[in-house]
Chain A
Amino acid sequence: MTPARFLETRAPAWNQLEALVRKAGRSGVARLSDPELHELTRLYPAVAVDVARARMSRIDATTQQRINRLAIAAHGLLYRRPKARKGLAIVRFFARDYPRLFRQLWPYMALATAIFLAGSLGAYLTVLARPSTAHYFVPAGLDVVDEETDVSAGDVSERYRRMPGAPMTSFITTNNIRVAFLAFAAGITAGIGTVLLLFFNAMMLGGFVAHFQNHHLGYEVASFLTPHGALEIFAILVAAAAGLRLGLSLAIPGRVTRKTSLRIGAKEAVLLVLGTIPMFIVAGVIESFITPSYISGGLKITIGLAALGTTLAYLLVVGHGRRTRRPTPTNK
Chain B
Amino acid sequence: MDTFDLIETPEHVELEQPLAGIGSRFLAGLLDNLILAAVFLVLFIVLSLLVQLSPFEDTGAWAFAFLILIGFVIQWGYFVFFELRTNGQSPGKKATKIRVVKEGGTPITFSDVAVRNLLRAIDALPFYAIAGVTMFISKKCQRLGDLAAGTVVVSEQVSDFSARTDRRVRADWQAQAGAPALRATGLTPEEYRVVNNYWMRRGQLTLDARRSLLPRLLRPILIRTGQTLSDDRLETLEAYVELLMRQAWFAQTDAENATAQREGGP
Q: Interface on A for B, CB 8 Å cutoff?
A: 2-4, 26, 45, 48-49, 51-52, 57-58, 60-62, 64-66, 68-69, 71-72, 75-76, 79-81, 89, 164, 166-171, 173-174, 177-178, 181-182, 184-186, 188-189, 193, 246, 259, 262-263, 266-267, 269-271, 273-274
Shortest Cβ distance from residue A59 to the other chain B in the assembled complex, whole angstroms: 8
Cα of A185 to Cα of B166 in the assembled complex, Å: 39
Q: Does B47 contact A (CB under 8 A)?
A: no
The reply to whether B119 and A68 contact each other, CB–CB distance below 8 Å, is no
Select from chain A the residue with minimum beta-carbon distance to B200.
A61
Which of B61, B105, B109 interacts with A81 by CB under 8 Å?
A: B109
Cα of A173 to Cα of B173 in the assembled complex, Å: 63
The reply to whether B144 and A184 contact each other, CB–CB distance below 8 Å, is no
Report B77-113 residues with CB < 8 Å from chain A CB: 86-87, 105-107, 109-112
> Hey, which chain A residues are within 8 Å of B161, CB to CB?
65-66, 69
The reply to whether B122 and A164 contact each other, CB–CB distance below 8 Å, is no
Which 8 residue pairs spanning A and B have beta carbons closest together?
Answer: A166-B65, A174-B72, A266-B148, A170-B68, A185-B121, A164-B61, A61-B169, A167-B65
Known: A69-B158, A170-B68. A51 touches B15 (CB 8 A): yes
The reply to whether A75 and B111 contact each other, CB–CB distance below 8 Å, is no
The reply to whether A68 and B72 contact each other, CB–CB distance below 8 Å, is no
> Hey, which chain B residues are within 8 Å of A79, CB to CB?
9-10, 105-106
A-B contact pairs, 21 of them (CB 8 A): A2-B250, A45-B11, A60-B246, A61-B164, A71-B9, A71-B15, A80-B106, A81-B109, A166-B62, A167-B64, A170-B66, A170-B72, A174-B69, A185-B122, A186-B121, A259-B150, A262-B148, A266-B119, A266-B148, A270-B111, A270-B115
Shortest Cβ distance from residue A191 to the other chain B in the assembled complex, whole angstroms: 13
Q: Does B193 contact A (CB under 8 A)?
A: no
Q: Does B185 contact A (CB under 8 A)?
A: no
Cα of A3 to Cα of B120 in the assembled complex, Å: 48
The listed residue with most B CB atoms (<10 A of its CB), out of A68, A177, A186, A189, is: A68
The reply to whether A263 and B148 contact each other, CB–CB distance below 8 Å, is yes
Shortest Cβ distance from residue B168 to the other chain A in the assembled complex, whole angstroms: 9
Known: A2-B254, A48-B15, A166-B62. A72 touches B68 (CB 8 A): no
Select from chain A the residue with minimum beta-carbon distance to B158.
A69
Shortest Cβ distance from residue A101 to the other chain B in the assembled complex, whole angstroms: 11
The reply to whether A68 and B106 contact each other, CB–CB distance below 8 Å, is no
Q: Does B147 contact A (CB under 8 A)?
A: yes
Known: A48-B15, A81-B107, A178-B72. A188 touches B122 (CB 8 A): yes
The reply to whether A68 and B121 contact each other, CB–CB distance below 8 Å, is no
The reply to whether A66 and B118 contact each other, CB–CB distance below 8 Å, is no
Cα of A273 to Cα of B76 in the assembled complex, Å: 14
Q: Does B170 contact A (CB under 8 A)?
A: yes
The reply to whether A274 and B114 contact each other, CB–CB distance below 8 Å, is yes
Q: Does B13 contact A (CB under 8 A)?
A: yes
The reply to whether B9 and A75 contact each other, CB–CB distance below 8 Å, is yes
